[in-house]
Amino acid sequence: MEKGVLKADAGMNALTWNVVGHTYVPKLLSEEAFVWHATIPDGTFVPPHIHPTQDEWIYMLEGELDIEFADEQFKAGAGDTVKMPRGIAHGIFNRSGGTATCIFGVSPARELYKLFTELDGVSDPAELVRLSALREVNFLPPPDAQ
């Protein structure tokens, strides 16, 4: 990690990614953690998936998200922190009628930064699933396929 200040309107290396319709802006990367700002439009989502080697969290800035685990569902709003432990399937949905903004993080960083670079602009679900599996993010099959 480099010392200094990364301005609010900037991403690391001037990067901004479009991943599953969300805008992700990388803010911090070290071996121990990867942190990014996310803008999540209404009606978009990250399907249920598992990070087998990373804990993930979200700190909500604005808006509302639905967080779904296999056995529980939660609503998260401004000021809330969502905790998604490694090895536990979770999905993230914006059904709020408005945009949500938040800060995401994973620990350890592992391959997620590289994955987002590879997923930028990918719209084919099968390709997204394939690339993600190569970088330790495993998407669950749709409910009707289980």
Contact partners, residue 22, CB within 8 Å, separation at least 6: 38, 39, 40, 41, 44, 46
23 closest CA partner among 76, 107, 100: 100
d(CA 34, CA 38): 13
CB atoms near residue 58 (< 10 Å): 21
* pLDDT tens, residue by residue, 2-37: 899 999 989 999 999 999 999 999 999 999 999 999
Contact partners, residue 143, CB within 8 Å, separation at least 6: none
* pTM for this predicted structure: 0.93
* pLDDT tens, residue by residue, 60-118: 999 999 999 988 999 999 999 999 999 999 999 999 999 999 999 999 999 999 999 99
